[in-house]
Every structure is written in C-alpha cells, then in structure tokens.
C-alpha cells in the first residue's frame, strides 16, 4: 500500500533505498544493512528532500517499516535501516529486490576479480557467454562508482576490462567477416574463370567430333552410291526388257499390296493399344501390391510404437504416483515434528514411514525426513530421556570417552571422575565398572579383537586393561610427557598409536605393553584416524592444519589449512577416498563462533562439500561402518547426521540431551549411534527407520481420525488404519 502511493520516480528511489539497506549473507539469508540518506541521494541521483519524502512514506505512524521513528528529524547524515528482517520474507517485492541486488553484486565481483587477474596476466579477456552476460548486466543495472565501491573499489578497472573485452571481441568478429568476404570473392573469381575455360574446351571438342562424324558418313555414302550405281546399270539393261511385261502385273500387285499394308497397319495399331493397356494394368497392380505391403508394415510399426508408448506412459504414471506418495510421506514426517499432539504426531510419523516403505525404490534407505519424523514422535511419546543410559554416582560427570564393540552391544565410557564403566546399549543398562583413576579420563580405545581396552587420561601414562581377565590391574605404559588426546588401533591389530600434547606419536603393543616413539612433530594432534588399509594417518593439528602421515615412510604433508580457525576432529570413510573433518571458527579475539563439517576428496585433495548447522565447534565426527551415514557432535549440545549419498539433504538433528556431546560412535551393524554427554549420560539413537517405527504403534492409544486423515494426508488417498494392533485391541 505504501509503495503504490508513490509516483514512478519515487518508486525508483524506493527501490534503490531498499536495495541498499538490505543484503544477503553466505547462507543466503537476508540481513539488514544501515545506510545514510546522503548515499541514497547519490545512488539515486535525487535531492535530499525527494529521498526524505520517500522514507517518510514508509515510517508514517501505523507503518514503521523503517527506522529511526517519526520523532527523529532526517537529514543527509541520518542512517536508515529496516525495522525488522521479517519484512524481507513478508514483502515479496523486497525479497525480489534483495535477490536482484545480490545477483548484481555477484556479477560485479566476478568482473572485478577477472579484471584483477587480467591485470597481473593470470587470465585473458572475457568472451561469450560470460561477456554477453556481463554486458547485459551493465546495460540493465547501469552501475556507478558509488554503488560499486561497497563491493570492490576498483570500479574503473572492472569497467575498462569489460569495455576492452567487448571491443576486442567485436574487432575479432569484424576481422573474421572481412576474411570470409575476401575468401568468398577469390573463390568466385576462380570458379568463373575455370567455368569459362571448361565451356570453351567442351565446345571445341563437340565441334571437332561432329565434323569427323560427318566426313566418315560422307565417305561411306559415296562408296555405297558407287556400288549401287554399277549394279543398277547392269540390272537396268536386264530389266528394261521385262519392264514392259511386268508393268501391268506390278500395277495390279501394287494395288493389292497397298490394301494389305493398310489392313496390317490397322491391326498393328490395335495390338499396340491392347499391349499398352495391359502394361498399364500390370504396373498399376504392382503399385497397389507394393502399397498394400507398405501399409501392412506401417500398421505393424505403428502398433509396436503405440504399445511402447503405452508402456512408457504407464511407467511414467507409476513413477509420478510413486514420487507423489514419497512427497506426501515426507510432508507427513515434517508435520509430525511440528505437531504437539503426541498421538497425532505418532500416527503421522508411522503412516509416513509406511508410505515411504511401500513406494521407495531402495535409493533412500536413510531418508532424513522419515528418520526425523519417527525420532520426534518417539521422543514425544516416550519422553526426552527415553534413550539415556545413566552412569551411577556423580551426576555432573562429563563423559569424555566412549568405545564401542563392533561384535556385541557392549560399550565402554569414562569421564572426568576417573571411573570406567561397561554398559549394554540395547538394554540401556550399566553392567559394571572396569576401573578408576584419581584424575579425568580423556579417551578410550578398544582393540580390533576386543581383548584389550586402552585408557588415556590427563596423566602422561596409558592404561591397558585385559578384558579377558576379571578385576585385573591395568598395565601402565609410560612414554608421553603430557595428557593424551587420541588413541587408535592399527587395522591389523598389531598395536595402537597414541597422540599427546607433547607433540609426539607413540606406537605400543597391547599384549606386551612395550611402546616406542613413532614420530615427533612441531605440533600436536587434537584428533586423528587411521586409513582402512593401515597405510596412512590423517590428523587434526593444533596449528589449524589437516595432516596426512605416511605410516610406512613416516613423512607427512599438510592437506588443508584452516588457520586461524581450528580443526577439532577427523574421520576416514570406511571404503571411499573421502575424509570428513570438523572445524571451529573463531573471531578476531579468538572466541569460538560456529562449527562446520567439511568433506575432503583424497584424490583431488580438495574440499568438495561444507555442511552447516553447528553453532559451536565440532567435537567429534564419525562415518558408520557401512559408509552410508555421517554423524557430527558439537559443543552446541547438538548431534547431526547425514546420508552420505544424499548429502545435499538437510541433516537429522538429535538434541534431546542435557549438555555438550564429547564423543560419538556407531554400532557394528550401523543401526545404532551412541554419544557420551554431560550429567553422566550416554545417549543411544537407532539409525534404522524400521527399528524406530516398530516402537511407535505399541505406544499409541489411537489411530488418526478420518478428519485428521483428510487434513494431513488428503481426500485423494483412501483412509487407512495405521496401526492394526490398535484395531485388534479395540475389538
């Protein structure tokens, strides 16, 4: 309404005003950007009063779209900004302006970067299609120096680069056109000359051939005439005597012959006409036969094509219906997350799972929507602590360490009170205490054969527990000069590698307890992982670098540097040339601001994907044993999980815990994900949607009503009783 009250000129000023008080960040979210009235005047080429008049239209009493309020008198130094960022989502026109400004700024930055690279000789002038896109942008946006300096101060250099690219390309086109015309002209002249010469030669040849044939014909004719003349002379004498005698006879015979010739000619004409008619009938019959055969073949081909098209159409309809039902299933799962009624949420999540199971072609076993809906419904039905394993004793115990058996449902965990516990994650019970220290424990590692458990703590020594011996004392292993950050067993179970803050890696035999210095580095490793083939080690260094170490040659290289930000965790994919690592971004004061998960392709040595969602550092990161899932834990009390093959999908977020998450691990069958947290808790989440779904119906008291079905599923799909067990119970 406020915008429609403006004149066309005022609407132009309003568009420039709103484009300059809004912007988009790297996450494509709209943000407010305060701007002075003087700058708006300069960008819109309008007077101060014109701009102030437009601003007043949007901050009248009862509107308040812009700040400051009406009690502040405006001048050229006044700063204007949006009253609230939600206006960018509500006002469609403003959202369009924000997108246009972001696209225009992106194009200008591309031109400016290309101009800078061209100036130092690292790239060439632009050519279509990039040049045409840039020229279209220049013609449409008509950028000014004042506007451009907010994004890059080298405005003149960018425009000169664009003009130079255009002039150079136009000159190339003109040169090509001139060369084509010159070549065409030369070809035409050559063709004309050769054609005239060929024509003259043909004429001379025809003339000579004609003259020769005429001469030969005259010679033969002369010889025949001479011979005939001699014969005629001899016969003339003989015939002269009989001529008179035969004259009468000849005249009579001549008359008969003439009549006979006339009769024969008439018969010949009739026969020829009959023959022609028969030939035409035969040809017509053949044509009809050929056409009939062609029509038969065409009919068969058309029938085959029709059948194929029908099959394709049937498949397309079936596929569209399948995709529609999968979309409805995802929509139901999303609604299950937001619905507060736990019975309705459970029904929606379960029915969405049933639709997904029925119509999925197997490509989306780990669908984030399905898992999120089931997880949310189960949490509402069972309570936020339904999946917690409570460690006895100290409730403020921070469970820093976690080790999980790949063969059974046994886990080991420990924390800052020094006690080491054994638990069953399927029964969600603590089954015993393995040992205890007087100082905090930091890391636990279970051997490949699961006979030995290694504990790393704030002390410099390691403890090796022989799990085959009950209540046995641990073997103490000395060597490090500071607390241990991480421990990993080699895939062949020949030993384990430990990393300490003393900037060393040590290799230890768990059977004998004998250890040795493996490598000393100029930095320590916060976290590391060993490749599935046991040949390489990937580590998160304290200097912000991602280190790749060859375990055979003991030589290492820096793959990535995130400095001044930090890399806190790293993990190998079990079967692909892929590494995931978790970061912590810091500000200029060194304070943590957010965390991300990045995927690194080991073949190209490049980061192929950055995953967002954490608002603090990523404390741990793990791939599932089957390689299908990727999970990350953060200091923001949040655990996220992605499907590796659908990495572009939104992550599944599990946040029903009571504190930070320190360590995560998958079960051997990839069906469970464990996390060690604060308050003496270990949380257990099922990653198999079927296992989650099996828990929903027993906890529900009712199915969805027909009215709820119409509201959340639709009238086009027939009503179903989601949980058959409820029908049996009611009966």
Q: Which domains does the chain have, with CATH numbers?
A: 8-153 (no CATH), 391-703 (2.130.10.10)
Q: Are 6 and 65 in contact, with CB atoms under 8 Å apart?
A: no
Q: Are 27 and 612 in contact, with CB atoms under 8 Å apart?
A: yes
What residues contact 476, with CB distance under 8 A and at least 6 apart?
Answer: 461, 462, 463, 513
User: What backbone torsions phi and psi does residue 367 show, to the nearest 5 degrees?
Assistant: -85, 125
* 538 vs 629: CA distance, rounded Å: 20
Q: Is 326 exposed, middle or buried (0-12, 13-18, 19+ CB in 10 A)?
A: buried
SS3 2: coil
Q: Which residue has the tokens 């009939």?
A: 292
Tokens of 353: 């799972």
Q: Are 686 and 672 in contact, with CB atoms under 8 Å apart?
A: yes
Nearest to 343 by CA among 287, 303, 381: 381
Q: Is 108 exposed, middle or buried (0-12, 13-18, 19+ CB in 10 A)?
A: buried
Nearest to 481 by CA among 464, 514, 505, 510: 505
User: What backbone torsions phi and psi does residue 482 show, to the nearest 5 degrees?
Assistant: -165, 180
Nearest to 639 by CA among 609, 610, 660: 660
User: What backbone torsions phi and psi does residue 162 show, to the nearest 5 degrees?
Assistant: -65, -45
Q: Are 530 and 556 in contact, with CB atoms under 8 Å apart?
A: no
* 624 vs 525: CA distance, rounded Å: 23
User: Which residues are paired to 20 by β-bridges?
Assistant: none
Q: From residue 182, how far is each of 171, 176, 185, 195 by CA, in Å?
A: 17, 10, 5, 20
* 371 vs 182: CA distance, rounded Å: 70
Q: Are 661 and 676 in contact, with CB atoms under 8 Å apart?
A: yes
* 636 vs 711: CA distance, rounded Å: 36
* 540 vs 583: CA distance, rounded Å: 9
Tokens of 591: 């304070």
SS3 445: strand
* 42 vs 22: CA distance, rounded Å: 17
User: What b/e readout covers 140-150, taking b as 16+ CB neighbours within 10 angstroms?
Assistant: ebebeeebbee
* 494 vs 507: CA distance, rounded Å: 10
* 558 vs 495: CA distance, rounded Å: 25
Q: Which residue has the tokens 């320190």?
A: 662
Q: Are 434 and 453 in contact, with CB atoms under 8 Å apart?
A: yes
Q: Are 663 and 675 in contact, with CB atoms under 8 Å apart?
A: yes
Tokens of 639: 């655990």
How many residues are recorded in the chain?
A: 731
Angle at 202 between CA 198 and CA 208, to 5 degrees: 145
User: What backbone torsions phi and psi does residue 62 show, to the nearest 5 degrees?
Assistant: 95, -10
What residues contact 59, with CB distance under 8 A and at least 6 apart?
Answer: 65, 66, 67, 68, 69, 70
pLDDT at residue number 54: 79
Tokens of 485: 């950050």
Q: Are 522 and 562 in contact, with CB atoms under 8 Å apart?
A: no
The model's pTM is: 0.58
Q: Which residues of the chain have pLDDT under 50?
A: 731
Q: Are 352 and 330 in contact, with CB atoms under 8 Å apart?
A: yes
Sign, Cα dihedral of 601, 602, 604, 606? positive
Distance of alpha carbon 179 from the chain centroid: 44
Q: Are 571 and 579 in contact, with CB atoms under 8 Å apart?
A: yes
Within the chain, what is the greatest distance between any pair of CA atoms?
A: 165
Q: Is 306 exposed, middle or buried (0-12, 13-18, 19+ CB in 10 A)?
A: exposed
Q: Could you check whether the bond before residue 564 is cis, i.e. omega within 30 degrees of 0?
A: yes
């Amino acid at each position: 309404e406020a915008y429609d009250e403006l004149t066309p000129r005022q609407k132009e000023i309003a568009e420039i005003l709103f484009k300059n008080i809004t912007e988009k960040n790297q996450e494509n979210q709209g943000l407010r950007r305060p701007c002075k009235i003087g700058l708006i005047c300069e960008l819109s080429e309008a007077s101060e009063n014109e701009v102030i008049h437009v601003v007043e239209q949007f901050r009248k009493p009862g509107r308040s779209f812009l700040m400051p309020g009406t009690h502040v008198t405006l001048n050229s130094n006044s700063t204007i900004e949006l009253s609230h960022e939600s206006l960018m989502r509500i006002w469609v026109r403003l959202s369009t302006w924000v997108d246009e400004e972001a696209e225009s700024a992106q194009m200008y930055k591309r031109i400016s970067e290309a101009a800078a690279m061209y100036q130092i000789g690292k790239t060439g002038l632009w050519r279509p299609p990039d040049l045409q896109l840039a020229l279209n942008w220049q013609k449409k946006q008509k950028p000014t120096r004042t506007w451009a300096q907010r994004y890059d101060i080298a405005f003149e250099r960018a425009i000169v680069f664009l003009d130079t690219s255009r002039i150079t390309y136009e000159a190339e086109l003109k040169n090509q056109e001139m060369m084509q015309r010159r070549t065409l002209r030369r070809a035409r002249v050559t063709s004309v000359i050769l054609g005239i010469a060929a024509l003259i030669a043909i004429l001379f040849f025809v003339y000579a051939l004609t003259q020769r044939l005429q001469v030969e014909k005259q010679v033969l004719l002369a010889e025949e005439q001479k011979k005939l003349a001699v014969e005629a002379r001899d016969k003339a004498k003989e015939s002269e005597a009989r001529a008179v005698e035969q004259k009468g006879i000849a005249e009579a015979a001549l008359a008969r012959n003439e009549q006979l010739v006339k009769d024969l000619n008439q018969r010949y004409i009739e026969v020829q006409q009959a023959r022609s008619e028969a030939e035409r009938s035969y040809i017509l019959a053949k044509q009809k036969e050929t056409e009939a055969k062609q029509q038969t073949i065409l009919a068969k081909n058309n029938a085959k094509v029709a059948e194929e098209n029908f099959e394709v159409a049937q498949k397309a309809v079936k596929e569209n219906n399948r995709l529609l039902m999968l979309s409805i299933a995802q929509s139901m799962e999303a609604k299950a997350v937001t619905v507060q009624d736990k019975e309705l949420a459970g029904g929606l999540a379960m029915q969405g799972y049933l639709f997904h199971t029925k119509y999925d072609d197997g490509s989306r076993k780990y669908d984030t929507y399905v898992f999120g809906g089931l997880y949310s419904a189960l949490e509402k039905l069972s309570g936020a602590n339904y999946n917690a394993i409570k460690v006895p004793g100290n409730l403020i115990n921070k469970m820093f360490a976690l080790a999980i058996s790949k063969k059974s449902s046994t886990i080991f965990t420990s924390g800052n009170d020094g006690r080491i516990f054994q638990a069953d994650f399927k029964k969600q019970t603590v089954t015993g205490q393995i040992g205890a220290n007087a100082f905090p424990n930091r890391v636990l590692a279970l051997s490949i054969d699961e006979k030995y458990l290694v504990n790393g703590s704030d002390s410099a020594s390691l403890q090796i527990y022989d799990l085959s011996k009950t209540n046995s004392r641990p073997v103490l292993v000395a060597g490090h000069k500071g607390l241990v950050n991480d421990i990993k067993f080699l895939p062949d179970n020949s030993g384990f590698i430990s990393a300490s803050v003393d900037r060393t890696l040590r290799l230890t035999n768990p059977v004998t307890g004998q250890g040795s210095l493996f490598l000393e580095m100029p930095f320590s490793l916060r976290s590391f992982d060993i490749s599935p083939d046991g040949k390489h080690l990937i580590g998160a260094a304290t200097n912000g670098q991602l280190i790749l170490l060859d375990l055979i040659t003991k030589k290492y290289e820096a793959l990535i540097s995130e400095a001044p930000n930090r890399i806190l965790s790293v993990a190998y994919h079990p079967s692909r040339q892929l590494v995931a690592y978790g970061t912590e971004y810091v500000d200029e004061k060194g304070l943590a601001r957010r965390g991300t998960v990045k995927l690194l392709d080991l073949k190209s040595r490049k980061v192929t994907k950055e995953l967002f969602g954490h608002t603090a550092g990523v404390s741990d990161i793990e791939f599932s044993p089957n390689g299908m899932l990727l999970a990350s834990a953060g200091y923001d009390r949040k655990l996220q999980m992605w499907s590796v093959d659908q990495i572009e999908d939104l992550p599944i977020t599990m946040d029903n815990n009571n504190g930070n998450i320190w360590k995560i691990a998958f079960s051997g069958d990839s069906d469970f994900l464990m996390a060690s947290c604060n308050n003496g808790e270990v949380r257990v989440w099922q990653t198999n949607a079927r296992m989650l779904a099996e828990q929903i119906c027993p906890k529900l008291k009712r199915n969805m009503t027909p009215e709820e079905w119409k509201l959340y599923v639709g009238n086009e799909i027939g009503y179903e009783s989601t949980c058959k067990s409820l029908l049996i119970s009611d009966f």
